[in-house]
Amino acid sequence: MLIEHSAYTNRWRRVSPAAKGLFSLCGLVAAYAAATPAAACGSAAVLCVVTVLGAGIPPLRYLRVAAPALFFLAVSALSLAVSLKIGPSMADVSLHLARTGFQRVAQVCGRSLGGLAALLFLAMTTSLIDIIGLLRRLKTPEVLLDMMTLCYRTLFVFSEAVHDTLTAQSARLGYATMRHSMHSLGGLVATITVQVWQRSQALHVAALARNNDGPLRFLEQVYPHSTRDICLAVSGGAALVALVRVIS
Amino acid sequence: MHIMEGFLPLRHCIGWSVASAPFVAYGLRTINKGIKENPEQRMLLGVATAFTFVLSALKMFSVTGSCSHPTGTGLGAVLFGPAAMAPIGAVVLLFQAILLAHGGLTTLGANIFSMAIVGPFAAFGIYRLAQALKLPFGVCIFLAASMGDLLTYVTTSLQLALAFPDPVGGFAASFAKFAGIFAVTQIPLAISEGFLTVIVFNALARLNPQELKDLNVVTAKEVQA
């Protein structure tokens, strides 16, 4: 996972997640506050530069992470640009480019780029454990936090189990044809489904052995310059929103 | 197909989040009640969330020969119940946004509504209806998984059409346009997911019948059949 790798290796790893969350929120506000596509693209560019130059994320990795979302945006923009005209009969259906819709497509694309850049800033600079810690401070329901923590800790175990099983099945030509592929994938999912119960039982027994009496508790991470980081993030974020409003 | 970050207008983001919130809250209430009665469910649901996340990352061959990912809405709804699937889906979609940049934070409400609410509830309803009609177990599972998948994408089309009505034909033309685009990939994919889910349940019934009986997914008679 490229995002996960960046979240643990970037320059701002030790910066308070609250500060990064606030700056990302300001980025989202800027994307929605932009009245013109150019302003929204400007906001996206600023966020992109801050992520790459500030947090030290390699540009190529940034592009690789953004590529699927950009592909979705391109397809969606094309869908928005094309207008469907339905005539009186069902056979009288035609597609044409709606010229009046171009401004709307540009606005949506600009906003999406701004939003994506804000999301990538948070995702590529902040680990999920830090985000869960932040959500804990924001009083998110305990059961939801427990689900997130357990999911995060188990998904790599499952990923490895899936990888190992796929390798073993492939070695036995389990994915040689489409019919074999479907059968092998069905077997794989069934095996992993059973592991859900086996692993959860094992975790429950392990938790009981440690006198677990309910929610999972963790020590909160301490960030040395939290107040300073939050002040900087709010100032930077406010400046970004103001800039977007000015160039709109 | 997740709706990406920033794609929906602000009013729609808020509207879909408000629409999804009661379902997630009801799911959490159900889970909390379940945990009080069976504390081991806390671990089960966390691990089930990881399972759903990993499942959505698996490559699945579509009947058209293309490749995509299963949604797992039908499988999850039958195994864990539709109420639990709302919070599970919410966490999975949040993780997909943060770990994979699929979907987004502002569009989380809309994505939860289509993938974690409509899909699982529709799948579960169809499964129960098919059982009531005494259809064979495999047919019940196929219908639940494929229709759950398909209705998820119908809902996504509806969400996009509501947000971006066609300048000429309005909402109806926009819905036809988005549904038409999705149909090319999603109808074959829904059929593939239906077959895959049947294979999964057949394997479970053959190798792990006790787990299926414990979950009240099947009766002893159905396992033997």
The domains found in chain B, sorted by start residue, are 10-224 (1.10.1760.20)
Residue type, B99: L
ipTM greater than 0.95: no
pLDDT in tens, A84-131: 776 666 666 677 776 667 888 999 999 999 999 999 999 999 999 999
Helix (H, G, I), strand (E, B) or coil at B88: helix
Structure confidence at residue A184 (pLDDT): 92
Residue B177 pLDDT more than 90?
no
How far is CA B198 from its chain centroid? Answer: 16
pLDDT in tens, B2-45: 899 999 999 999 999 999 999 999 999 999 998 888 888 888 88
How far is CA A38 from its chain centroid? Answer: 24
Structure confidence at residue A80 (pLDDT): 84
Tell me how far apart the alpha carbons of residues B40 and A200 are, in angstroms, rounded to a whole number: 8
Interface contact B168-A98, CB threshold 8 A: yes
Cβ neighbours of residue B125 closer than 8 Å, sequence gap 6 or more:
B82
Tell me how far apart the alpha carbons of residues A12 and A167 are, in angstroms, rounded to a whole number: 37
Which residues of chain A are within 8 Å of residue B79 when distances are taken between CB atoms? 193
Residue from B5, B64, B91 to probe the interface with A (highest A Cβ count within 10 Å): B5
Residue B103 pLDDT more than 60?
yes
Select the residue of B105, B196, B204 nearest A182 (Cβ to Cβ): B196
Structure confidence at residue B40 (pLDDT): 84
Residue A42 pLDDT more than 90?
yes
Does A150 touch chain B if contact means CB atoms closer than 8 Å? yes
Structure confidence at residue B218 (pLDDT): 60
Query: Which of these, B167, B77, B116, B114, lies nearest to B3 by C-alpha position?
Result: B114
Structure confidence at residue A66 (pLDDT): 94
Containing H/E element for A86? strand A82-86
Residue A60 pLDDT more than 80?
yes
Tell me how far apart the alpha carbons of residues B147 and B123 are, in angstroms, rounded to a whole number: 6
Instruction: Name the residue with higher pLDDT: A171 or B185.
Output: A171
Structure confidence at residue A214 (pLDDT): 79
Structure confidence at residue B170 (pLDDT): 84
Interface contact A200-B177, CB threshold 8 A: no
Does A83 touch chain B if contact means CB atoms closer than 8 Å? yes
Average pLDDT on B142-169 reads 90
Containing H/E element for A4? helix A2-9
Q: Please provide the average confidence, as pLDDT, over all residues in chain B.
A: 86
Q: Please provide the average confidence, as pLDDT, over all residues in chain A.
A: 90
What CA–CA distances, in Å, run from A188 to A170, A206, B55, B222?
A: 12, 26, 10, 22
pLDDT in tens, A191-241: 888 888 888 889 999 999 988 887 888 888 888 889 999 999 999 999 999
Structure confidence at residue A217 (pLDDT): 80
Does A94 touch chain B if contact means CB atoms closer than 8 Å? no
Judge contact between A200 and B211, C-beta under 8 A: no
Helix (H, G, I), strand (E, B) or coil at A152: helix
What CA–CA distances, in Å, run from B108 to A28, B3, B122?
A: 14, 8, 20
What CA–CA distances, in Å, run from B206 to A89, A200, B50, B202?
A: 52, 22, 24, 6
Residue from B12, B23, B37, B43 to probe the interface with A (highest A Cβ count within 10 Å): B43
Select the residue of A131, A155, A178 nearest B61 (Cβ to Cβ): A178
Structure confidence at residue A81 (pLDDT): 84
Residue A64 pLDDT more than 70?
yes
Which residues of chain B are within 8 Å of residue A113 when distances are taken between CB atoms? 6
Query: Which of these, A192, A18, A155, lies nearest to B196 by C-alpha position?
Result: A192
Residue B61 pLDDT more than 60?
yes
- DSSP annotation of A93: E
Which residues of chain A are within 8 Å of residue B97 when distances are taken between CB atoms? 119, 123
